[in-house]
Structure 1
Amino acid sequence: MELDGRVVVVTGGTRGVGAGIARSFLTAGAEVVVCARRPPPEPVAAGGREASFTPVDLRDPAAVGALFDSVGGRYGRLDCLVNNAGGTPYRLLGAGEEAREGEGEGEGQGAREARRHGRVVELNLIAPLTASLAAHPWLRRTRGSVLMIGSVSGTRPSPGTAAYGAAKAGLENLARSMAVEWAPEVRVNSLVLGMVRTELAHLHYGDEGGIAAVGATVPLGRLAEPSDVGEAAVFLASARAAYVSGASLLVHGGGERPAFLDAATVNKES
């Protein structure tokens, strides 16, 4: 159990990718704390062990500070922070919907749209920064690490989720800057994810047929499982990656096949 006795906090760790990461850390022997605004639908557990849950709104700096003070007081240490919480609805730029009753009265539609997209940036970029700053004093004591959960949306155009893509691009750059500023006491790395099959995959890709069809576009032939992400996270948090900082590890099954290859008329197999 290479992380036996280590303490890990996974934000957004109650379901999906976050729960997969938490389970991998449990299997590796770590004590795991998962946090989110709402409790998990069922305990996050693996190998006969269970993660503890703490409710927190990551957009509230005071609440985030209290979270890490609580974890530090309970365990006496913190070895890894996984900034996983995030996400976004599908929303095209400039295709604003009508404001809810009482929302944004006196504002133009552009201002309302900016606020909506701004909330996406707040959750996916500012919240990880807030959590990392609150965790930093504890991580320095253990020479621990921060792990940002990024996305390929931050490395290529992200139509329909532009603010999310911009935030993820900023998150990867933030990790690299943190890695320089916080060395040598704290390592900071990123996992850059592609498509992952979670319990909500059908909302993005449709039924089993749709999921299989989308998976077939990935060079490795399938969507990632949360456990694939979790194993990569455990590696970056472990002593095996002791000299890895400021890195971005791509966990995307080989990436995306360039569209021009299907459109080209030369070099086709007969």
Structure 2
Amino acid sequence: MTREFEGRTVLVTGGAQGIGRGIVEAFARAGASVAVADLQADLAREWLGEIEGGSRRAHRAYDVDLAECGQINALVAQVEADFGRLDVLVHNAAYFPLTPFAAITPEVLERTLAVNLGALFWLAQAATPAFVRQRGGRLLVTSSVTGPRVAYPGLAHYAASKAGVNGFIRAAALELAPHRITVNGVEPGMIRTPAMDNLGDAALNARIADAVPLGRLGEPDDIAAAMLYLASAGAGYVTGQTIVVDGGATLPEASAAFLV
């Protein structure tokens, strides 16, 4: 892997485990200094010092509740103060308790929208001045195929938030383009992470893997690779887009579509 991101700072929310950890490790291997924001920042601190690449100052984790706008503003200001710059922001954190539509409470809906969608607004607002000072930046978000493309029982609240995320990506891309800030996202399908335990047992996961056209579940590295591309110089003319990374599961001809 090249060291394209040497000297650059990347902030990843929800980076303590799963897809987020894969994104953090990929940017560090590519030379970036990485800041991790998570409710479980202690999990990140356990392994940040051992990741390959980056520098000592890359090993920073921040305890943040992304449902709180004030904490988000303080986070971005602290990251810029600690690292001296902010080049890439990846909003990966998500909240999605498996809940039948009829059982969704105001608290569940409000937290889902706050973490998945609201935090994206506040992160973008907080990071834009830092990007403008550097004459450009990359705002990235982990969206989902659930909502924009397919449905999954028990995730109506999550689907609504991710459909909103994709709408934000397109609108923000237009508004931020004059500042040389690109806005893009990745839509994962079924990725092998601890969060998959929310969606069903091992037997269901095996059925899904068998039905995916590429014959396997995705890995965090699959998502991280797409994020690296969207943050790279090679994607400098790409904005307002999402990349679907799902092994072909949501293609109309794929029998796995209804399972994702």
In structure 2, do the counterparts of structure 1 residues 46 and 159 end up closer, same or farther at CA, with 3 Å as the change threshold? same
Tell me the SS of whatever aligns to 2:177.
Answer: coil
Tell me the SS of whatever aligns to 1:190.
Answer: strand
In structure 2, do the counterparts of structure 1 residues 259 and 248 end up closer, same or farther at CA, with 3 Å as the change threshold? closer
Compute the displacement of 1:210 (Å).
Answer: 4.4
In structure 2, do the counterparts of structure 1 residues 230 and 176 end up closer, same or farther at CA, with 3 Å as the change threshold? same
- One-letter code of the match for 1:217? A
Question: Which of 213, 217, 221 is the equivalent residue of 1:223?
Answer: 217
CA deviations over 1:146-196 (Å, ceiling 9, x no partner):
001100112223321101101000001101100000113211001111110
TM-score, normalised via structure 1 length: 0.84
On the 8 A contact 1:118/1:163 being kept in 2, the answer is no
On the 8 A contact 1:216/1:222 being kept in 2, the answer is yes
Question: Which of 119, 123, 145 is the equivalent residue of 1:127?
Answer: 119
| Structure with more helix by fraction | 2
Q: Map 1:168-207 to 2 at 5 A.
A: 168-185=162-179, 186-207=181-202
- One-letter code of the match for 2:215? G
Equivalent residue pairs, number: 245
Asked if 1:22 corresponds to 2:28, the answer is no
Structure 1 counterpart of 2:98: 90
Q: d(CA) in 2 for partners of 1:40 and 1:232?
A: 27
- One-letter code of the match for 2:115? L
Question: Which of 124, 139, 151 is the equivalent residue of 1:146?
Answer: 139
Structure 2: runs of 5+ lacking an equivalent: none
Q: d(CA) in 2 for partners of 1:115 and 1:202?
A: 22
Structure 1 counterpart of 2:47: 43
Give the % identical residues.
37
Asked if 1:2 corresponds to 2:4, the answer is yes
Q: d(CA) in 2 for partners of 1:165 and 1:203?
A: 15
Q: d(CA) in 2 for partners of 1:260 and 1:53?
A: 40
RMSD: 2.0
TM-score, normalised via structure 2 length: 0.87
Structure 2 counterpart of 1:74: 82
Compute the displacement of 1:203 (Å).
Answer: 4.6
- One-letter code of the match for 1:67? L
Q: Map 1:220-259 to 2 at 5 A.
A: 220-256=214-250
On the 8 A contact 1:154/1:165 being kept in 2, the answer is yes
Compute the displacement of 1:244 (Å).
Answer: 0.5
In structure 2, do the counterparts of structure 1 residues 202 and 62 end up closer, same or farther at CA, with 3 Å as the change threshold? closer
Structure 1: runs of 5+ lacking an equivalent: 97-112, 263-270
- One-letter code of the match for 1:64? I
- One-letter code of the match for 1:188? V
Compute the displacement of 1:205 (Å).
Answer: 3.9
Q: d(CA) in 1 for partners of 2:190 and 2:60?
A: 27
On the 8 A contact 1:26/1:51 being kept in 2, the answer is no
